Amino acid sequence: MYRIKTKNLFGKYLLTLAFVSIMSFLVGSISSASFAGAVKDSNSPFDVIFNSIRNLEEQNSILQNKVNALQTQVDKLNSEVNSLLPPPLLTNAVAITKGAGGDQSCVTTKNCFSPNVVNIATGDTVTWTNGDSVGHTVTSGNPSDLQSGAIFDSGLIKSGGMFSFTFQNPGTFNYFCVIHPWMTGTLTVK
């Protein structure tokens, strides 16, 4: 015996209908008219299946409309909330942490400059604030570079002082403190 596989109810219905029609024709025990009458009968299994499918489709449509209405309300609420929020800060802040110049413990925790890695957009300004009790620099490059400070160099930033720089070009920029070369950080500009 051959088996035909189908994944949906309608396909199974059609296969069943085809099988019954072929058998009716071959055996001659069920005429086409009586078979058609059985399909139209409201108690037939085929009508039950069709009505169930039709009801599921209607319920699915109703639920989809409700989901769309809820999404519209959520979008409206998000818009209202965003209009109430203050505008984003134009400056990204990096702290030179307290004690960063005293010992190298900030190297293992990667917080000599905090945050240690900063991601910004082209045109953004970054401001470094010295929260340590000693002076520091913010100098582009790496301590091992022969030419550091080519892109930016703060000079000495005294305790409590600040340095700002606006990044006009995309790229990854390493920086460090010339006085305390273990203090390093990275900026990614997109």
Q: Are both 116 and 53 inside the same structural domain?
A: no
Residue 100's pLDDT is 87
Angle at 92 between CA 86 and CA 96, to 5 degrees: 130
Which structural domain range is residue 78 located in?
9-84
Domain annotation covers residue 2? no
More confident residue, 117 or 22: 117
User: Is pLDDT above 60 for 47?
Assistant: yes
Q: Are both 40 and 70 inside the same structural domain?
A: yes
Residue 52, token pair as written in the block:
């169930």
Q: Are both 65 and 155 inside the same structural domain?
A: no
Domain annotation covers residue 1? no
Q: Are both 182 and 104 inside the same structural domain?
A: yes
Residue 44's pLDDT is 74
- For residue 81, name the pLDDT band (cuts at 50, 70, 90): confident
Q: Are both 96 and 184 inside the same structural domain?
A: yes
Residues 6+ apart with CB under 8 A from 125: 90, 91, 92, 164, 165, 166, 167
Q: Which of 52, 84, 116 is the last residue before a domain boundary?
A: 84
User: Is pLDDT above 70 for 156?
Assistant: yes
pTM above 0.85, yes or no: no
Q: Are both 150 and 98 inside the same structural domain?
A: yes
- For residue 45, name the pLDDT band (cuts at 50, 70, 90): confident
